[in-house]
Structure 1
């Protein structure tokens, strides 16, 4: 049982590393392309909308990294697989609260393009969810559970 738990914990850490490599690369390429696109569509306001969405995305990724680091501290613990969902869910709650504060503070601001912000944020969220899902399904983390 302990060997299975260790192998599963190692699989989770390997999965985290893959996610931490693929998601930032996807995000960087996407924001570069979206920045160019919205520069031609909405000018400076479009680029500012993309940059604000990028700032929110950086917060999302850094909080994900932080929750993975915290969860990784308990890697050798028998409670690792139980503590992992707690760390992930705590990160989600923090992301929701901060993003709501961020969005409501930007409401009715005219110096950036709200459509560019919304579209970029939505595309990156959906894209990173698809990447995370594909990596989890291919990782074999849940094979021994």
Structure 2
């Protein structure tokens, strides 16, 4: 018997799907604009910027989805936060290393790269906002509600 997916996993999956769609659109639009602004260097810069930002922003939702699959128990919450925090630290280190490796490359146009990353981050925030605003999240979690009591059995409201 499989349980219904939690509302947070549904939201995170929707975020991943829409984030991938927006990243694809931004790669296409950014690539064209980058090519018009700086030729092949601009095209490469825009594609690298959009894909790098999309990858790192999508990894957050993926890390939380993976950490959310932990079995219930006393160590579930600390382990969840350790996985999420560890994932963010790894992302930060890899992002800094990627920026250091890309800095000064002859095939990177800095302004095109910057604006493609900026557009990707803003688009990702808009996707997160829209997904959260449209999500149908219940006010209570997975709680078993009490069943109704027959008044003839002398329960609450009975004689």
- Range into which the TM-score falls when normalised by the shorter chain: 0.7 to 0.9
Greater fraction helix: 1
Which residue does the alignment assign to 1:95? 91
Flag structure 2 segments of 5+ consecutive residues without an equivalent.
142-159
**Aligned CA-pair RMSD:** 2.9
Matching residue within 104, 113, 116 for 1:117? 113
Flag structure 1 segments of 5+ consecutive residues without an equivalent.
1-5
- Whether the 8 Å contact between 1:71 and 1:80 is mirrored in structure 2 is no
Aligned length: 138
Which residue does the alignment assign to 1:44? 40
- Whether the 8 Å contact between 1:53 and 1:120 is mirrored in structure 2 is yes
Deviation larger for 84-93 or 13-22? 84-93
d(CA) in 1 for partners of 2:54 and 2:25?
A: 14
Residues 69-116 of structure 1 show CA distances to partners (whole Å, capped at 9, x for unaligned) of 422422x52576765554443332222211111111222222221111
d(CA) in 2 for partners of 1:140 and 1:58?
A: 25
Residues 11-41 of structure 1 show CA distances to partners (whole Å, capped at 9, x for unaligned) of 0111122112111001101110110111111
Compute the TM-score of the two structures, normalised by the length of structure 1.
Answer: 0.76
Deviation above 4 Å: which 4+ runs of structure 1?
A: 78-86
Larger radius of gyration: 2
Deviation larger for 23-32 or 45-54? 45-54
Alpha-carbon spacing, 1:142–1:45, altered in 2? closer, same or farther (3 Å): farther
- Whether the 8 Å contact between 2:54 and 2:120 is mirrored in structure 1 is no
Does residue 37 of structure 2 align to residue 32 of structure 1? no
Pairwise CA distance, 1:136 = 2.5
